Amino acid sequence: METITENQKLKVAKKLKKMFGHMDRRQMEYCPIRDVMALASDKWSILIILYLGYYPVMRFNYLKKRVYGISNKVLSERLKHLETDGYITRTMYPEVPIRVEYALTEFGHSYLQKLMDLTEWVTEYSEVIIASRQAKSGVQTN
Amino acid sequence: METITENQKLKVAKKLKKMFGHMDRRQMEYCPIRDVMALASDKWSILIILYLGYYPVMRFNYLKKRVYGISNKVLSERLKHLETDGYITRTMYPEVPIRVEYALTEFGHSYLQKLMDLTEWVTEYSEVIIASRQAKSGVQTN
DNA sequence: CGGCATCCGAGTAGATACTG
DNA sequence: CAGTATCTACTCGGATGCCG
């Protein structure tokens, strides 16, 4: 758990400045990261993507079994979103019992890697979070 | 936009395997990344953290002005959550017009860096997403 | 098998008014 | 100034049933 130098902080601030102009106005209203994160970082999408990273192709009911607790509706919604945004492909085989397979696109794999980075970071720091929560030990609405 | 080799994909799958055991059962039900992302990756929290990365300390109404469109209630909620989980500190100065200052913790800065990484990735790929959306050009509920 | 349509309940966001 | 209280509105998730 390395500490962060003032220098690094300044670097980040500089990057932010570059990214969002002078950041004052409501330019931040459209924020690409917000856009993307909001769409692919909900709890179900993350699991779906992680699973597809492990099992290269998965069918609807497979996913449903694995992604424990998800409903048909939500699974179908998420898959559609993820497909729309290019994270996954959907291949339909018009056989008699129809078969549909989902798989990550290159883009999806790329996202998965970022997700893995985050996962590692989270794993490293999760005790910090847990500890912090317990320290405040208030009623955690979440 | 470098492509991803089969090797890299395998590496990711291996990491996943390590992370989640054999991944079959419902062990995935508790997923640290999911836990953290869900709490700190909503649209408001992201903005708050980005702003605090740029302005080292901010007061409530400053934040409210900057984080365009957020309501008192939600801002207060988010700040409380972020504080509970250790992303930010809250310092109160019991002066006559009371003053409260928010700032990132070391942990918060660390998260911000990850967020920046993601931002860069998103920026790099955002055209891909937009293009993909338009290609499907269906009614985008989101 | 792989969904979509429908309905319902719970939680969340937003606006406004008010307080220490 | 920095929130809390309250109320409403709306979205979202879950369950069920149906269809190609």
Say which of B29, B116, B142 has its CB closest to residue A12.
B116
Contact A38 B43 (CB under 8 A): yes
Model pLDDT, residue B24: 53
Give residue-wise pLDDT tens across range B15-46. Answer: 888 877 655 555 556 777 777 777 788 889 98
D13 closest protein residue (CA to C1'): A74
> What's the 3-state SS for B28-87?
HHCCHHHHHHHHHCCHHHHHHHHHHHHCCEEEHHHHHHHCCCCCHHHHHHHHHHHHHCCC
Nearest nucleotide to B79 (CA to C1') is D3
Positions in chain A whose pLDDT score sits under 70? 1-2, 22-29, 137-142
Q: In sequence order, which residues have a C-beta less than 8 Å from that of residue A12 and are 6 or more positions away? A: B53, B109, B112, B113, B116
The owner of tokens 């917000």 is: A34
Tokens standing for residue A87: 């994270």
Model pLDDT, residue A18: 84
Q: How confident is the model at residue B118 (pLDDT cuts 50, 70, 90)?
A: confident
Question: Fold for domain B31-122?
Answer: Arc Repressor Mutant, subunit A (1.10.10)
Q: How confident is the model at residue B90 (pLDDT cuts 50, 70, 90)?
A: very high
Contact B132 A26 (CB under 8 A): no
Say which of B42, B86, B112 has its CB closest to residue A129.
B86
CB-side neighbour CA atoms (13 Å) of B115: 33
Please, what is the average pLDDT of chain B?
A: 85
pTM: 0.87
Tokens standing for residue A18: 């570059």
Model pLDDT, residue A61: 94
Q: Residue ranges of the domains in chain B?
A: 31-122
The CA angle A14-A20-A21, to the nearest 5 degrees, is 80
